[in-house]
Structure 1
Amino acid sequence: MKILHTADWHIGQLFHEYDRAYEHQQFLNWLVATIKEQSVDILLVSGDVFDNANPSAASVKMFYTFLNNALKAQPHLQIIVTAGNHDSASRLESPKPLLESSNIHIIGIIERNTDGSFNYEKLCIPIHDKQGNICLWIMAIPFLRMGDYPTVADSTSPYTDGVMALYQEAYEYTLTQKQAGQAILAMGHLHAMHAEVSDHDNHERLIMGGVEFVPVTTFHENIVYTALGHIHKAQRIGGRENVRYSGSPLPMSFSELNYKHQVVAFEVIGEEITHIQSIEVPLAIPLLRVPSSSKQLAEVLNKLQQLPPVGDNLLLAPYLEVRVLLNGPEPALRHKIEAAIEGKNVRLTKIDVKYPDNKGNVDGETAIALCDKLHELNPFDVFARIYQSKYNNPAPDVLVVLFNQVLEKAMDWQGES
């Protein structure tokens, strides 16, 4: 069986407020062609199909159109989709009864039996060969929220221990169903311990807490392949070739400027895995960073003015990040940059501003001491210190004059009151 693993599509995502529908459609068109060219039997999509729990009608249509096109291109294809943390588990599952008649399985919700035990039958999906015989089993486990995993008594890490327990119990259940010669695969949408994260992943960790890590031992060594989603950088975990994140097919931040996005393909013969390979996803819209490292504003504007003129379709122009080094506030910065790129074949997404390294930054204890003495400082001293700390330069005379005018006016108002 030829299997292809992908995840983290995030259909409907905006890239710095720019619509990415064209990019997503190009990826899905490429994926359909790849499924046909590679004679893929099984497609695994490990979560975050959509970028939010309430996707637009256009995003939903794009997803289901892809499913239809994939089956037309490869009629025997079997598709397994699990929900990620960005997806609405119930919404993603809603067309499940209809789709299962086409060998499309969507798993979003962790169901329980009447006695309160977990329904592992729903999570363990038999995969049939072209003759209709079961050839392998897939533990299709979606993103696990609180209550979706067993409670482990006296645990100091309820999430980690609970997730490990659920995977162990799902594996044990699957063992009762499989026959000799049938492989077991697993899917997951989670943060594996020691996974290398991108800038976008770091942003999500702040939202999710940063304590939801699971070790690679969560996945039994006899599982021939574990298809993971959630981390956007493709990688193997724990030194195991068969435990992998496929990564996102589209770049999520400028930190991925030179990163090659991919899907993972492999074959399963009996209970053995072979021919694991990464297939690079073509980049529909390039990322452009000008300059490559932060420069003074005059030099940056000169480089921007040298960019090529706009082509036939500005909606296909590269996303632009501008890096500029400033010595102090520059209120007209965005206006100057927009003026420099007017008529150029780029779309401004981000202005990354840096200031000279401040060697005089105070440590935590010094900062506390300064706070304790704050009542001893006059307002101008506070202003001067903050400016120096932020810009590593003394406040310019024009700002000093303006600050003193504001301070004088404020003191007049206080006297009047």
Structure 2
Amino acid sequence: MKILHTSDWHLGQLFHEYDRTFEHQQFLNWLQAALVTEEIEVLLVSGDVFDISNPSAASIRMFYSFLQKATQDNPALQIVITAGNHDSASRLEAPKPLLESSNIHIIGTIEKNADGSINYEKLVVPLKNKSGEIQTFCLAIPFLRTGDYPTIAEAENPYTEGVAQLYRDAFEYASQHKHAHQTIIAMGHMHTQQAEISEMDTAERKIMGGVECVAANAFDENLKYVALGHIHKAQRIGGKEHIRYSGSPLPMSFSERNYKHQVIVFELEEEIKHLKMLEIPVSIPLLRVPLNPHPLEDVIAALHQLEDKNDTTPAPYLEVQVLLAEPEPGLRHKVETALLGKNVRLARIQPHYPNREKESSSHYSQELLNELQPTDVFSKSYQLKYSAEVPEHLMALFQQTVNEVGNVE
């Protein structure tokens, strides 16, 4: 049985306010072709199909068009999709009864039995080989929210221990229904311990903070493969070849400028073999000018050297890095003027200030803050960020604001 693992499509995502429909469609077209070329029998999508819980009609149409074309090109293809934290679990699995007739299984929610126990039958998807026989069972576990996983009495970490228990119980349920020659794989959408995160992943700190990091040993050692989603950088976890994040198909931040996005393909018999990564072609590249921060006049000169607009080369997303000694009110206007007629999409201007102190030094005790005047706080904050004294005209404007607020009170 040949399986392809992918995740974190984030259909409908905007990249610094730029629409990414073209990029997502290019990826889905490539994936559709790869499913045929690689003779894939099972497609696993481990969460975050959409970027927001209420996706646009265009994003929904793109998703279902892909499912229709993928199964049309390969009628025997089995697809298992789980919901991620960005997806609306109930919305994603709403068409489940209709899609299951096409061997498409979508699991978004954790259903409970009348006694409050978890309905593991819904979470275990049997996958058949070319002979029509069940070869493996897939624990299709979506992103787990509070109340989804078992409550462990006196648990030191209710989340991680509850999640681990759910995977143990699901594995036990599947084990009771499988024959000796059949195997079990799993899916998950979570943050695991030791996972290397990217710049974009840090934006999800509230979801995947330290107390919500699941250890690799939460997955039974007899699971043949664990297809993870949530972290946008492809990687294996805990030194295990069979526990992997596939990563996102598109770059999610400029920190991924030189990163190769991919999907994972492997064959499954009694063990996995021939595991490989398929690199996803980049449809719109990321460009950083200059590679390291330079003074504004040098940056403007570099921008003037960029390629002019044309109809043959896709305009890359551009990040401009500028070294500043103090705030530059006209910075964006100067950059945009230099880019007139250039074949780029200005995504971000990143200012850098020399000798900037570490963020930790900006922490003050409550007692000290109570003793400081507003102008003192403003002055210290400005000096911390720009390594310079507040200009007199800015201090005068700030003092005027303070006085006006005081008069209102």
TM-score range, shorter chain: over 0.9
Q: Which residue number corresponds to residue 138 of structure 1? A: 138
How far 1:204 sits from its partner (Å)?
A: 0.8
1:129 positional shift: 1.6
Aligned runs of 1:228-247 on 2, under 5 Å? 228-247=228-247
What residue number does 1:153 align with? 153
Matched, 1:394 2:389: yes
Structure 1 residues 401 and 364 mapped into 2: Cα distance closer, same or farther (>3 Å)? closer
Deviation by residue 1:151-200 (Cα, 9 ceiling, x = unmatched):
11111211111100000000000001110111110000011111000011
Q: Which runs of 5+ in 1 are unaligned?
A: none
Give the superposition deviation at 1:405: 7.4
Q: Within 1, Cα distance between the matches of 2:292 and 2:362? A: 30
Q: Deviations over 1:214-244 (max 9, x none)?
A: 1001111110000000000000000000000
Q: How big is each residue's C-alpha offset from its partner over 1:28-75, in whole Å with a ceiling of 9 and x where there is no partner?
A: 000010000000000000000000111111101100100111112212
Give me the whole-angstrom Cα distance separating, in 2, the residues matched to 1:402 and 1:47.
48
Structure with bigger gyration radius:
1
C-alpha displacement of 1:130: 2.0
Counterpart of 1:156 in structure 2: which amino acid?
A: E
2:84 counterpart SS class: coil
Aligned positions, number? 409
Structure 2 match to 1:318: 316
Give how far 1:17 is off.
0.5
Task: Return 207-216 or 119-128, whichever deviates more.
Answer: 207-216
Q: Are the counterparts in 1 of residues 191 and 208 from structure 2 also a CA contact under 8 Å?
A: no
* 1:115 Cα offset (Å): 2.1
Task: Supply the distance in 2 between the matched residues of 1:127 and 1:361 (Cα, whole angstroms).
Answer: 51
Structure 1 residues 358 and 106: CA distance shift in structure 2, 3 A: closer
> Could you tell me which residue of structure 2 aligns to residue 344 of structure 1?
342
Pair 126,26 (structure 1): closer, same or farther in 2 beyond 3 Å: same
The more displaced of 238-247 and 404-413 is 404-413
What is the TM-score when the length of structure 2 is the normalising length? 0.94
Answer whether contact 2:354 2:387 (CA < 8 A) is retained: yes
* Partner Cα distance (1:62, 1:361) in 2: 43
Is this contact kept in 1: 2:357–2:384, CA < 8 A? Answer: no
Could you tell me how far apart the structure 2 residues matched to 1:75 and 1:267 are?
Answer: 19
Aligned position for 1:113: 113
Tell me, in whole angstroms, the C-alpha distance in 2 between the residues paired with 1:413 and 1:111.
Answer: 53
Q: Describe how 1:265-414 pairs up with structure 2 within 5 A.
A: 265-269=265-269, 271-312=270-311, 316-358=314-356, 363=361, 371=369, 373-375=371-373, 379=375, 384-395=379-390, 399-401=391-393, 403-404=395-396, 407=399
Change (3 A) 1:374 1:414: closer
What is the alpha-carbon distance in structure 2 between the residues aligned to residue 307 and residue 144 of structure 1? Answer: 47
| Cα RMSD after superposing both structures | 2.4
Q: Residues of 1 paired with 2:358 and 2:281: CA distance?
A: 46
**Structure 2 CA distance, aligned partners of 1:37 and 1:29?**
12
Q: Say if 1:295 and 1:224 are closer, same or farther in 2 by CA, change over 3 A.
A: same
CA distance in 1, matches of 2:377, 2:86: 43
Mapped to 2, the partners of 1:152 and 1:213 lie a distance apart of 17
Seq. identity, %: 57
Counterpart secondary structure, 1:72? helix
State the secondary structure of the residue aligned to 1:199.
Answer: coil
Larger mean Cα displacement after TM superposition, 381-390 or 29-38:
381-390
2-structure distance, mates of 1:101, 1:329: 60
Letter in 2 for 1:339: T
Paired with 2:90 and 2:405, the residues of 1 have a C-alpha distance of 58
How many angstroms apart in 2 are the aligned matches of 1:175 and 1:409? 68
Q: String of CA shifts for 1:295-337, please: whole Å, max 9, x gaps.
A: 10000011011101011279x3100000001111111100000
1:241 aligned partner, one-letter code: E
Superposed displacement of residue 400, structure 1: 1.3
Distance 2:199 2:232 in 1: 9
Structure 2 letter corresponding to 1:393:
A
Q: 1:390 to 1:170 in 2, by over 3 A?
A: same
Change (3 A) 1:282 1:222: same
Amino acid of the structure 2 residue aligned with 1:389: L
Whole-Å separation in 2 of the counterparts to 1:386 and 1:247 = 38
Compute the TM-score of the two structures, normalised by the length of structure 1.
Answer: 0.92
Counterpart-to-counterpart distance in 2, 1:56 and 1:100 = 24
